[in-house]
Structure 1
Amino acid sequence: FFQSKGSTAITACIGISQYPNDSSNAEELIKYAELAANKAKTEGKNTFKFFNPLDRNKLIHLVEMDIELRKSLDFKHFSLHYQPYVSMDDNNIIGYEALIRWNHPILGSISPAEFIPLAEKIGLIIPIGEWVLKTACMQHKKWQQKFSANRNVSVNLSPKQFDDPKLVEKIACILNQTGMDGRYLTLELTETTIIKNFRQASQKLSQLMELGIQIAIDDFGMDHSSLNYLKELPINKLKIDRSFVRDVLTDAKAKEILRTIVDLGHRLHFRVLAEGVEIKEQYDLLNSYDCDECQGYYISKPLSNIECEQFLSQVDKSMEWRFAK
């Protein structure tokens, strides 16, 4: 359709459930259609899917998660794991990314890929995100007092968190409550989160930077967007998506894309971090491209706070972490 400033193309993904084959209950039919629509979205644009009765158990699981997530805001079954990342200049651990985990006493360990989208949908992502940020800052402050190195902690922001009009105020309050210096906090956002409302995003990122906070673009290269925003927005770091790193030893095009992203980041005066580094050969290739930082199982898997403290203690004494893989 046409707008005042040009045309906009739209696509649709459709989910279909059938009466009475799938159910004779209207509410169930709507839920089944939603489940089919979600499946259609994962398989590409402009497509449709019929509800598959084999997916009924998945729907039951989603309903259970919905109920339990609403009951879990005391956060006693949530925890944070921390995945370290390394500077490739001197092989020092310079920070770690805080990653939420949900270990439910009945449902078991639930992946963030499952419950984060649900939390977004039912309006719980903001309190969950605030808990993650505050917990990460409190833990980081303890480690700063225990270890000599001034490392950085990275926390992911969801689209709805970033859209919160009180975001900057809330983050400033958390920094004040925890005694955390904003210079040692990095907030990670996806390209889509930032560019959907460019002007407001630019203003908000500038306000966050005034608190000393670093800004990183997460999963860089995965969203099909204009690169024009890179020169306009206040950004400190690009995090290259793991998909480019995964294929870099076998795919010549992936190798060139990786090199190009590193060069682009440096020309724009950003630091560049590669995610998903799992073997020495990937690490060495990235090092030859002058990539600044890397993260992945070659360095360390995500660690519980106890495991991470032991890891940091070991790092302060030796460099054995480099041979984890």
Structure 2
Amino acid sequence: MPKTQEPDRPALPVARGTADAAPADASHLHRTVLRRMRFVMAAICSVALCALMAALYLLGLMPGAVAASGAALILGSVLAFALVFRWRLNLRATDPSLTVPMTMVAVLCVLYVMAGSDIARDTFVSFFGLVLLFGVFRYTTRTLLQHAGLMLLGYGVVIFLHWHGRPAGDGLLVDAARWLTLATVLPLFTIVGGQIMAGRRAAMQRLRDSEERFRRLTALSSDWYWEQDSMLRFTTLSPGLEAKAGIGPARLIGRTLPQVAQAPPRTSWEAYAEASAAHLPFVNLECQSNDDSGTLRWLSLSGEPLFDPDGMFLGYYGTGRDITEHKQAEERIHFQAHHDALTGLPNRLLLLDRLEHAIAQADRDGHALWVVFVDLDRFKRINDSLGHKSGDLLLQGVAQRMQSHLRPSDTIARLGGDEFVLVLSDWPAGSLSLGLMQQMLDAVRAPFAAGGNAITISCSAGIAVYPGDAGTAELLVERADVAMYRAKEAGRNNAHFYKAEMNALAMRRLRLESELRSALEAREFVLHYQPQMDLATGRIVGVEALLRWQQARPGLTQPVDFIGIAEETGLIVPLGDWVLETACAQAVAWQRSGSSRLRMAVNLSARQFAQKGLVATISAALQRSGLEPSLLEIEITESLMMADVEQAVTTLAALKGLGVHVSVDDFGTGYSSLAYLKRFPVDVLKIDRSFIRDIVSDASDAAIVAAIISLAHSLGLTVVAEGVERPEQLIYLASCGCDTVQGYMVSPPMQADALDQLLRTVPAALPARIGAGQRRA
């Protein structure tokens, strides 16, 4: 049988508030509902025929047997089709609604009744036209012509059977005229109506295809479709809302947007209300709503107003998009731009913003504000000795400890490295004090466990107070930084308030740093050399190279004034390399001029000693200058060695491998650990000048010096005493067996040319000096 029904098509993807809507496609009524409705319509038509036959029987216009048998056939067919529909056998048919076979059966039943009753034939003849009128909306033109042919053929058979054997012309002309009329009208109506409806069905098909493309396009995109009525209540929502945002459409149907969503923080519905009241389009309206699981989602809506041909406002239609991931990405970017990646604390940008708000709040409330600049003491030593991973763990621990001592209204930020800034409100008045600050510093000082090591570190803090010390956020931070440096100079692990005179010190530090950088390029540094005399022979056996800064202004700048800054800024490394190169070259120059072979002592800073290429640097300097390694003495301090014992042992062993001598400078002022001293491959101990100064008048200092000399000799080390300025000191050291002395008693530091002259006269002069001193004693 030819195809008689348009196939079921996917409906437009919209959801309506109905219990019959299918979860997978809530855009139209479910196809099953459509099929059921069509079946019910056909069944009602069949039952109406039965009712008409019953009425004709009651009026005496139709025999009872014909009416009963006709009604039984029609109702029986309806019942049979109902059972097929109930058992879902219809789903396999070309026409699942069963309207085509039900119509065919009804036509046959009508023909049967017409054959048995003249009145029925006259009454039901119009049924054929009704069948075609109903079918023109459902069937193709070909199927309509088949139905029309079947009706005409059946009607002709009925006429033939009814009038067969009767007198000619007895009513036959009326039936013939009626048949001819139907034979003319039905095909014509079928062809014209079928063509009209074919065009309409083609247009509907194109519309359905367009809707299907729109549905698929919407499914592929991240958008979903929505409609609102004139009261701005949602009437239609596509399944994409639930699939992509997790929000069931049923929650929104019949409700307005402000009823189901909320405006984003620090915004309102005012702009949306103005646009909707004026019936204007809106684009990218952002709002928030909880999905079915309770998670807050971000939605973006764009809508256009809808009007009828008369300009009456009908509502809005538009698209929506779930922008939750986009918003979360924005929040992550914003957080990263305003927070420190390691500790999660605010960075400088966010700190200044919060500080400005805190200043405004302080102005309104009339209370003070503390800005505290905190810097960890000797943090670089942790990184250099234990590695950056342990350093990072330490920074995180410090941040947590400081944060635990703050109130929720306070702010802590990390500026970078080991620098933190606190913004503290003195509200209520007097709630802040140095005692509270010291408690926080003490909490930080408690040991940390980082990388399997117990680390103890202190911090120094500088405090600037608003409004007394500064009026802007930037200046408050700068002045707190200045006060922090004053706390470090005062011994570290303490807090200092900013004072106006600190600015001068800070400016001097900045000026010195700038001048130091320029001095390296301008070669303003010079070396002075202080002789070291062997007490046994009275001869000069070595010199110590001492750095001086010869600036453009008169006089020399002493190391104590600039070495600390050079160490902090890292300039000490290139400066130390220059000292090493110059000292080695000068020692070789003296040898070539005929002077004695002197041992050259050069001090190493902490930064130099921590450099991985230190041994290679010293080796290169020796090769370029031509100095014998045994004539170079590297001086390091006790504290420098104790910062990382294992690394120090390795480095010193490598230096010994080069053939250079190693001396421990300022011995007695640091750890003075005999166990570690035994491990270190050193050659010389230098007694600090603080013990030499009072050895004649202070029995304790004299005993310490004698003990150090005895200890060094027992370990096979040579002893050098620094700061020898009086004959009494020289005599005592000689009596204790000290090997070498250095100080103004022998010679002050001097330039290379002046020392060369001294070297030619000292061997004969010094023994007489020592003897004279002994006689005076």
TM-score (norm 1): 0.91
2:742 corresponding residue in structure 1: 295
Q: What amino acid is the match of 2:648?
A: A
- In 2, the alpha carbon distance for the partners of 1:97 and 1:29 equals 45
Structure-2 change in CA distance of 1:5 and 1:270 (3 Å)? farther
- In 2, the alpha carbon distance for the partners of 1:59 and 1:100 equals 24
1:263 to 704, 707, 710: 710
* Bigger helix fraction: 2
Q: Helix, strand or coil for the counterpart of 1:180?
A: coil
- In 2, the alpha carbon distance for the partners of 1:191 and 1:49 equals 30
1:161 corresponding residue in structure 2: 608
Q: Helix, strand or coil for the counterpart of 2:537?
A: coil
**CA deviation after TM superposition for structure 1 residue 16, in Å:** 2.3
Pairing 1:237–2:237 present: no
More moved, 64-73 vs 270-279: 64-73
Pairing 1:143–2:595 present: no
- In 1, the alpha carbon distance for the partners of 2:731 and 2:475 equals 53
2:674 to 214, 227, 244: 227
**CA deviation after TM superposition for structure 1 residue 149, in Å:** 2.1
1:51 corresponding residue in structure 2: 498
1:208 corresponding residue in structure 2: 655
Deviations 1:161-189 (A, max 9, x none): 01110111111111101111111000000
**CA deviation after TM superposition for structure 1 residue 193, in Å:** 1.1
Gaps of 5+ in 2: 1-446
Structure-2 change in CA distance of 1:26 and 1:209 (3 Å)? farther
Q: Helix, strand or coil for the counterpart of 2:713?
A: helix
Contact 2:532/2:543 (<8 A) preserved: yes
- In 2, the alpha carbon distance for the partners of 1:31 and 1:314 equals 56
Structure-2 change in CA distance of 1:135 and 1:28 (3 Å)? farther
Q: What amino acid is the match of 2:506?
A: L
- In 1, the alpha carbon distance for the partners of 2:580 and 2:729 equals 31
1:89 corresponding residue in structure 2: 536
Q: What amino acid is the match of 2:719?
A: V
- In 2, the alpha carbon distance for the partners of 1:156 and 1:79 equals 15
**CA deviation after TM superposition for structure 1 residue 194, in Å:** 1.1
Pairing 1:80–2:527 present: yes
Q: What amino acid is the match of 2:626?
A: G
**CA deviation after TM superposition for structure 1 residue 8, in Å:** 5.0
- In 2, the alpha carbon distance for the partners of 1:27 and 1:99 equals 40
2:573 to 118, 126, 130: 126
**How do 1:172-183 residues align onto structure 2 when only pairs under 5 Å count?**
172-183=619-630
* Bigger strand fraction: 1
Calculate the aligned-residue CA RMSD, in Å.
Answer: 2.4
The answer to which structure, 1 or 2, has the higher relative contact order (CA under 8 A, 6+ apart) is 1
More moved, 222-231 vs 15-24: 15-24
- In 2, the alpha carbon distance for the partners of 1:266 and 1:28 equals 57
Contact 1:217/1:237 (<8 A) preserved: yes
- In 1, the alpha carbon distance for the partners of 2:753 and 2:767 equals 18
1:217 to 641, 654, 664: 664
- In 1, the alpha carbon distance for the partners of 2:504 and 2:722 equals 33
Q: What amino acid is the match of 2:621?
A: I
TM-score (norm 2): 0.40
Q: Helix, strand or coil for the counterpart of 1:99?
A: strand
More moved, 210-219 vs 5-14: 5-14
- In 2, the alpha carbon distance for the partners of 1:210 and 1:84 equals 26
Gaps of 5+ in 1: none
Structure-2 change in CA distance of 1:8 and 1:123 (3 Å)? closer
Q: Helix, strand or coil for the counterpart of 2:465?
A: coil
- In 2, the alpha carbon distance for the partners of 1:57 and 1:258 equals 41
2:641 to 186, 189, 194: 194
Identity %: 38
Deviations 1:271-309 (A, max 9, x none): 111111110001111111111111111111110112111
- In 2, the alpha carbon distance for the partners of 1:135 and 1:238 equals 24
- In 1, the alpha carbon distance for the partners of 2:625 and 2:751 equals 20
Structure-2 change in CA distance of 1:133 and 1:6 (3 Å)? closer
- In 1, the alpha carbon distance for the partners of 2:581 and 2:455 equals 40
